[in-house]
Amino acid sequence: MAENATVWLVIPTYNEAANVEAIVSAALERLPPARRVLVVDDASPDGTGRIADRLAQGRDDVAVLHRGAKRGLGPAYVAGFGEALAGGAELIVQMDADFSHDPADLPRLLEAAAEGDLVLGSRYAEGGGVTDWGPGRRAISRWGSAYARAALGIGIRDLTGGFKVFHRTVLEAIDLPSLVSLGYAFQVETTFRAIRAGFTVVEVPIIFRDRRVGRSKMTGPIVLEAAWRVPAMRLRGR
């Protein structure tokens, strides 16, 4: 355990054997000295967890949380956030393992945490964007953010993005154990709860790139879950 690990980066993985070593190394190059990278692996059958264990061996700034089965993106983040809070993290970062989130953007997002309680790496803020996606995937993503904005009545431009920096006070306030979203609706739910609790949100433009190797985790059931969970969030918040 790194005694001064005030910045924790939580990376959930499932079948990311081709990416995990490279993403951990790239992140460590760009995080401040007081840091820890936590890989949360959902029993990946391709050996991702074993690779992560090897990376963590003999290091204070890399750790691995093994979960017994694939239970969804949201629960993986909740588990990782709980570990980070228990470990004394002051800033908790979340990002994908597949390089769709560029580790080079980490310093900018962490710097913006001086201005906001929650920092969002935003594809749709001025200066942001998406590369490598076809028209269908672009339409689904933009529709998802627009739908969530309208359903929840908030003005955040990129509600479905997953590159974020939380102050620990935000995660402590939003009742992590009660978060119910399994897929990408989790991103909407955490931001909505933060806003509802009175925290400030800052969007930092990023360029989102499609994964370098491996298969996308986006599926029809994930899209459908977001479609019905988003209005349910507002109903629960009344």
Instruction: Note the pLDDT tens digit of each residue in 32-67.
Output: 999 999 999 999 999 999 999 999 999 999 999 999
Beta strands in 42-174 (DSSP E): 62-66, 91-94, 118-122, 129-131, 164-167
Q: Is the pLDDT of residue 85 over 90?
A: yes
Ramachandran angles phi, psi of 66, nearest 5°: -95, 130
Which pLDDT score, from 0 to 100, does residue 231 have?
A: 56
**DSSP label at residue 88:** T
Domains and CATH numbers, the chain: 7-237 (3.90.550.10)
Q: Is the pLDDT of residue 94 over 50?
A: yes
Whole-number average pLDDT of the chain: 87
Token output for 72: 């969804």
Q: How far apart are CA 153 and CA 139, in angstroms?
A: 21
Of the ranges 139-143, 192-196, 207-211, which one carries the lowest mean pLDDT score?
139-143
- CB 5, CB 61: distance < 8 Å: yes
Which pLDDT score, from 0 to 100, does residue 238 have?
A: 43
Which pLDDT score, from 0 to 100, does residue 150 have?
A: 81
Strand 35-41 and strand 91-94: pairing? unpaired
Task: Assign 13 to helix, strand or coil.
Answer: strand
Residue 235 CB neighbour total at 10 angstroms: 8
Task: Assign 197 to helix, strand or coil.
Answer: coil
Q: How far apart are CA 235 and CA 24, in angstroms?
A: 39
User: Is residue 152 classed exposed, middle or buried when 0-12, 13-18 and 19+ CB atoms within 10 A define those classes?
Assistant: buried
Cα diameter, the chain:
49
Torsion sign across C-alpha atoms 90, 96, 102, 104: positive
pLDDT band at 228 (very low <50, low <70, confident <90, very high): very low
Q: Could you read off the pLDDT of 4-21 as tens digits, one per residue? A: 459 999 999 999 999 999
Dihedral of the alpha carbons of 172, 117, 32, 22, in degrees to the nearest 10:
80
- CB 182, CB 72: distance < 8 Å: yes
Which pLDDT score, from 0 to 100, does residue 185 have?
A: 83
Token output for 233: 């969030």
Q: How far apart are CA 207 and CA 194, in angstroms?
A: 24
Which pLDDT score, from 0 to 100, does residue 215 have?
A: 56
Q: Could you read off the pLDDT of 112-157 as tens digits, one per residue? A: 999 999 999 999 999 999 987 667 666 667 777 788 788 888 999 9
